[in-house]
Amino acid sequence: MAERPQVPDSARNLGRDNTGDSPAARLTRLKEGDTVTARLFRFDPTAEAAPRFETYRVPYTKWMRVLEVLTYVSEEIGGDLAHRWFCANRMCGTCAVRVNGREVLACWEPAEPNMTIEPLRNAPVVRDLVIDRSEYERRVLDLTPWLERRDPYAGFPEPLTHPSMARADKALDCISCMCCFSACPVVGLGNETDFAGPAPLVQLARVALDPRDGIDRGRIAVERGAVFDCVSCYKCEEVCPVSIPIVTGAIEPLKALAFKSVVRKSRHARVFLAIVRARGRIDPSALILGVQRLAALRHPFRVLKLWRRGKIDPLKTLLGFRLPDIAQIRQVFAAVRGGRP
């Protein structure tokens, strides 16, 4: 077995050349006949009180993928591992699992020498690695992500250019694998937020950014998708197996549409702008207070934790900190049409 290079923990650094973890490097990390050790999550919620992990040793075959490890366990050793897959070709989007804490498609991800394999988060487990997709599907459906034409269909082929579709085009790569839905910390907050989650918003962006669509998608994004609850942490983009720029290419454009059509409900964007205009840059504690208002005080320990870690500085906020060259910033605001909240 070749020595495993040092790979930084952040999902953002995985699979990159400069971390020694490029696809090419992964092809040589293991040789045929080496052993892959897979620690698998096992759980039948109807019959067992708690999940457990079982460890299996699987012989490596050339360029092995995680799916082959799971299939070997279910067909050659265990016989009863529940894991879902259909196409093994990065198309059906049903085989996603977490490997060593990161969401991946089992069919596309190279096997690692040591793997802990768990089901996706933010969805109930049916058995072992299989999750119940129905809550995710309900959220997608709730956003009505199908084309509602602005003008009557003109007949085949309708007038349409690629540049006009370019903004929607990346979102069309989505295979509904739920990797981003599992990785999203805001979805992980459960009922504390109404955030629909990254993948449902990508589905919404497909039609919202389509020039043929004619309904107020911005309103849907904010009223049913709570799009401003996205904290732009980029976890979704880090794990997307088809490299969709989920934050910059789907969620931010939806926020922009929401700000245009329902300014009143786009409080996050309004407060954000007001702070930047007043102070020259964003002030996190002012942002939290402005968006959550009194609700922000419901979680005093969270506030203290943020303060201790330097994420917020209420003293600065109280002192009315502002950048010295604020006049320049205000000139920018004045120059940008529609920049006023």
Partner 1 sequence: MRRLVAEVVVIGGGAAGTFAALELHRRGIKPLILCKGLVGKSGASIFAGNLVVPGRLLGNTEQQARDTAEFLIRMHNHFLIDQHYARAAGEWIEREYYPELERAGLYLRRDDRGNVVTNDGPVRCMAAHSQGESGVLFMDLRRKQVLRAGIPWLEETAATALLTGADGAIAGVIALDLARGEVVAIESCAVILATGYADRFYPRSTATREMSADGIAMAWRAGAELMNLEIQWWHTSDVRFPLCWQRTQVYPNPIIGSSRSARLYNGDGEMFFDQEADAPAAMGPYTIQLKRLAKQVLAGKARFDGSYYSGFTHVAPGTVTTYTDYAKAFAALGKSVAADTLETACSAHYRQGGIVIDPTTMATRVPGLYVAGGVGGHSNGLIAPATYDGMLAAETVANDLARLRPAALPVDKVAAEEARLLGLRRPRSGNGTTPAQVKKALRAVMGEKMGFFKDAAGMNEALAAVTRLREDMLPSMGLTNVTPRLNHAWLDAIDVTNMLEVAALTIRGALHRTESRGPFYRTDFPDMDNGNWLVKNILTPMANGDVDFRTEPYDLPFLKPDFVRRPSLEVDW
Residues that bind partner 1 (CB under 8 A): 22-27, 44, 46-47, 61-65, 67-68, 71, 74-76, 78-80, 82, 85-94, 107-108, 126-128, 130, 133, 137, 141, 144-147, 153, 155-163, 165, 168-169, 172-173, 175-176, 207, 210, 212
Asked if residue 105 lies in contact with residue 98, where contact means CB atoms within 8 angstroms, the answer is no
Kindly state the smallest distance separating residue 108's Cβ from partner 1, in Å: 6
Q: CB-wise, 39 or 42, nearer to partner 1?
A: 42
Place of tokens 């279910």: 74
CB of residue 161 to partner 1, shortest distance in Å: 4
Cis previous bond, 157, omega within 30: yes
CB of 258 to partner 1, least distance (A): 22
Residue number with CB closer to partner 1 (88 or 262): 88
Residue 39 dihedral angles phi and psi, to the nearest 5°: -100, 110
Backbone angles phi, psi at 127, to 5 degrees: -160, 140
Q: Which is nearer to partner 1, 145 or 225 (CB)?
A: 145
- Report, in Å, the least distance between residue 82 CB and partner 1: 4
Cα angle at 259 between 143 and 289, to 5 degrees? 100
Task: Check: CB of residue 80 under 8 Å from CB of residue 92.
Answer: no
Q: How far is the CB of 43 from partner 1 (least distance, A)?
A: 11
User: CA 252, CA 167: separation in Å to the nearest integer?
Assistant: 12
Nearer to partner 1, 214 or 339 (CB): 214
Q: What is the DSSP string of 265-313?
A: G-HHHHHHHHHHHHHSS--HHHHHHHHHGGGGGG-HHHHHHHHHTTS--
Q: Which is nearer to partner 1, 6 or 243 (CB)?
A: 243
Interatomic CA distance for residues 38 and 95, integer angstroms: 16
Q: What 3-state DSSP class applies to 215?
A: coil
Task: State the minimum distance, in angstroms, from the CB of residue 338 to partner 1.
Answer: 28
Nearer to partner 1, 87 or 295 (CB): 87
| Length of the chain counted residue by residue | 341
Tokens (6 digits) for 277? 């205009």
- Cβ contacts of 218 within 8 Å, gap of 6 or more: 208, 254, 256, 257, 258, 259, 260, 261, 262
If phi > 0 it is left, if psi is from -120 to 50 it is alpha, else beta; for residue 281 that is: beta
Q: Shortest distance, CB of residue 183 to partner 1, whole angstroms?
A: 20
CB of 297 to partner 1, least distance (A): 41
Return the number of the residue (213 or 313) whose C-beta is nearest partner 1.
213
Question: Which residue number, 148 or 325, has a Cβ lying nearer to partner 1?
Answer: 148
